Structure 1
Amino acid sequence: MIIYTVICRVRDVAVLVEVSSPDLSGNAPQVTTKLLTHLRDHPELLVEGEYKTFVQRNQQEEDFLSNFVESCASVLNEEPWDDDYYFHLLTKDGVFYCCIGDDPDIRDQKVNFAFLEQIATEFVKRHRKGRIQTANAYALDKDFSPTVRSCMHHHNINHKSIAQEERVINLMAKVDNMKHVMGTNIHLMLERSDALEELVDKSETLEEDAAVFRRKSTVVRRRHQRKFWFKRMVLAALFLIGFSMFLYVTTVAFCGARLQYCTRKHSNEENYENYNEEEQAQDGDGQ
């Protein structure tokens, strides 16, 4: 799931657009700014056009600070910060595109890169290069953040289907550890309310229900089509039987059950014609 997205200019790490998931709080902006500043100062760590993931492991080492934080969390009956977070980055034309996700599955991480690719394409379509390089911090946020938010929502609730697309399957990304890159372990502290988790769960449930409804609708439609076809065949058969019965009854009414009347009439007509021919022949001989 994508929980935070930021678009920054590389040369001064100025935030141009920033979007976070609803009901999310924590130090994601501060940690992301530190990471992007470090990448600006060390450009060899992120090549232009390259997909790269930096993993933030909040309990990577058993150092004094980690133990102290975990102990305090236990005393306060709170969960320690033990989740792993993934900073997915793409840089194009002097712009950092970064999103934070909590998906350990590499297939879901590829979906997050597809999200970055899409917003990068949309961003350069909407804004000229000169405008991007001279805009003040957050100057483009009002205009472009709705697009980012909508795209985040789409990729979050459709990540299963998007992960099956060929363009996503073929994405390749490098993975580095945050501590190794930064030289220090920075704790990313995020708090998400139950409402956000429930919203995502409900969205996925609705998506599954919709798929089930489509399958059931297809079955019902095919069943209805079969019933309709069978009904038409029955009606056609009944029509043929009725028409045959009508012909039979009409024929019996005029010719009898064994067609004797029609046969006798036909025989009489033939005899009459033969008789006329014989008389004409006799008259001819007499003359």
Structure 2
Amino acid sequence: MGQKSLIYSFVARGTVILAEYTEFKGNFSTVAQQCLQKLPANQPRFTYNCDGHTFNYYIDTEFTYCVVAVEAAGRTLPMGFLERVKDEFNKKYGGGKASTAAAKSLSKSFGPKMKEEMAYCVAHPEEIDKIAKVKAQVDEVKGVMMGNIEKVLDRGEKIELLVDKTDNLRNQANDFKKQGTKMKRKMWIQNMKIKLIVVGIVIVLILVVIMSICNQLRCF
């Protein structure tokens, strides 16, 4: 795999090319920029094949990274290169430093870094491939873990619903108990009133009887 594996690269903000680098002549830069305006939504990685070349794109929030490569380079090498370029770009222009940069104003400062990363990736394809495989395994494990977490959360929601129902039943039981206690207290008070009334009547009757007897016997 020769130096011509990676041919042209750019970093863009939206459709504005901020930095680009190439050592070759051709219309690949024009095609790459045309494809930039037609990238599918919600697809962070995209590759377009044309005339024996691949146009590889990596979209990361505000910025899009592109590299044109020969088809023989495959897809792992170009994508590995784009990830390295993304990391270097964020290190150099992170924190909003490139958010207002003018078109191609960063080519002079970042172009040499793109050239350096191209040379490194072409010279170390095995390393790039190994890194890609490790990341793929990590993504796979992450996917499995996220799936398990979603299942646990789903179970948690079901358990939470069951707990809510239990709490509702407990609350209803407590309310019923409180109502029963209030009713019991009310009935007790009513019974006490009736008993007091009866006792009062009995006392009055006893007094009446005593008064009658005393009148007859002239107790006073």
Shorter-normalised TM range: 0.5 to 0.7
Deviation (angstroms), 1:153: 0.5
Distance in 1 (alpha carbons) for counterparts of 2:28 and 2:138: 26
How many residues end up aligned between the 2 structures? 134
Partner of 2:210: none
Q: CA deviation at 1:129?
A: 4.3
Paired with 1:3 and 1:167, the residues of 2 have a C-alpha distance of: 26
- Alpha-carbon distance in structure 2 between the residues aligned to 1:148 and 1:9: 16
Q: Map 1:215-226 to 2 at 5 A.
A: none
Where does residue 113 of structure 1 map in the other structure?
A: 79
Which runs of structure 1 show a deviation greater than 2 angstroms over 4 or more consecutive aligned residues?
Answer: 128-131, 164-172
Aligned to 2:6: 2
- For 1:34, the equivalent position in structure 2 comes to 34
* Larger Cα-atom Rg: 2
Residue aligning to 1:47: 42
SS at match of 1:134: coil
Tell me the CA shift for residue 46 of structure 1: 4.0
Residue 96 of structure 1: how far off its partner (Å): 1.0
Change (3 A) 1:89 1:152: same
Matches within 5 A, 1:9-88: 9-10=13-14, 13-20=15-22, 22=23, 24-39=24-39, 45-47=40-42, 50-56=44-50, 58=51, 84-88=52-56
- What is aligned with 1:178? none
- For the 8 Å contact 2:7–2:68, the answer to whether it is kept is yes
Distance 1:167 1:103 in 2: 23
SS in 1 for 2:78: helix
Superposition RMSD in Å: 2.2
Q: Please report how far the alpha carbon of residue 9 of structure 1 lies from its aligned counterpart in structure 2 after TM superposition.
A: 0.9
Q: Is the aligned partner of 1:138 residue 2:142?
A: no
**Per chain length, whose mean CA-contact separation is higher, i.e. which structure has more relative contact order (CA < 8 Å, sep 6+)?**
1
Per residue, is there more helix in 1 or in 2? 2
Number of the residue aligned with 1:103: 71
1:121 Cα offset (Å): 1.3
- What letter matches 1:87 in structure 2? F
For residues 4 and 170 of structure 1, the distance between their equivalents in structure 2, rounded to whole angstroms, comes to 29
TM-score by length of 1: 0.43
Letter in 1 for 2:88: E
Aligned partner letter, 1:156: V
2:90 paired residue number: 124
Instruction: Determine if contact 1:110/1:169 at 8 Å carries over to the other structure.
Output: no
Give, in angstroms, the shift of residue 103 of structure 1: 3.1
Deviation at 1:171, TM superposition (A): 9.4
Contact 1:6 1:18 in 2 (8 A): yes
Q: Distance in 2 between matches of 1:115 and 1:26?
A: 21
* Same amino acid, percent of matched pairs: 22
Structure 1 residues not aligned, in runs of 5+:
40-44, 59-83, 173-287
Does the Cα contact within 8 Å between 1:46 and 1:52 map onto a contact in 2? no
Q: 1:169 to 1:110 in 2, by over 3 A?
A: farther
Cα deviation 1:1-43 (Å, max 9, x = unaligned): 1111011111xx11111011x3x1111121111111222xxxx
What are the ranges of 5 or more consecutive residues in structure 2 without an aligned counterpart? 140-220
Q: For residue 18 of structure 1, give the secondary structure of its aligned residue in structure 2.
A: strand
